[in-house]
Amino acid sequence: MATLNPYLNFADGKAREAMELYQSVLGGELNVMTFGDMGTEGPTAAQVMHGQLETPSGFTLMGADAPPEMVQVTFGDNVSVSISGSHEEADQLRGWFAALAEGGEVRQPLEVAPWGDEFGMFVDRFGICWLFNIAGAAS
């Protein structure tokens, strides 16, 4: 089954602090991957590339730092819609990606990412940022 999750972008390196606060309020397990974990060096290496909070209530909240050279955070632009699904749902997810991206701006075509899943992102014709992640095939 596909899932729909909010994805929050934070300016000024505040993602870890924000995600830890959400965890302290909502409970659950927080997993954080930094830009450094993915091979980035320099000032952004310690910043959060992906944080994911799985709460006991079944909520999934994701977030990341938005280094200004990568993402400009402005009011109304700091939340993205993230849709994730299994390898078995890949055709359906690719179809949704193509249909929703039509008339918008694809910023990252769907392709295999360093973490092994297929990932892509776009801003739709209404200005909403969407992230798609399709789990890699089981090995």
pLDDT above 70: residue 2: yes
How far apart are the C-alpha atoms of 33 and 39, rounded to whole Å?
A: 11
Would 125 be classed as within a structural domain?
A: yes
Would 129 be classed as within a structural domain?
A: yes
Can you give the CATH number for the domain in which 129 is found? 3.10.180.10
Buried b (16+ CB within 10 A) or exposed e, 16-43: bebbeebbeeeebebebebbeeeeeeee
Inter-residue contact 134 to 87 (CB < 8 Å):
yes
Higher-confidence residue: 33 or 76? 33
Mean pLDDT value across the chain: 90
Would 55 be classed as within a structural domain?
A: yes
- Which residue type is seen at 110? L
Would 104 be classed as within a structural domain?
A: yes
In the chain, the number of structural domains is 1
The pair of three-digit structure tokens given for residue 9, joined into one six-digit string: 């972008």
pLDDT at 139: 46
Q: What is the pLDDT of residues 75-116, one digit of tens each?
A: 667 778 888 999 999 999 999 999 999 999 999 999 999 999
pLDDT at 75: 64
Q: Write out the H or E segment, with its range, that includes residue 82.
A: strand 79-85
The pair of three-digit structure tokens given for residue 20, joined into one six-digit string: 């830890």
Residue 57 lies in domain: 5-25+45-134
Would 118 be classed as within a structural domain?
A: yes
Would 92 be classed as within a structural domain?
A: yes
Would 32 be classed as within a structural domain?
A: no
Average pLDDT over residues 32-46: 93
Would 102 be classed as within a structural domain?
A: yes
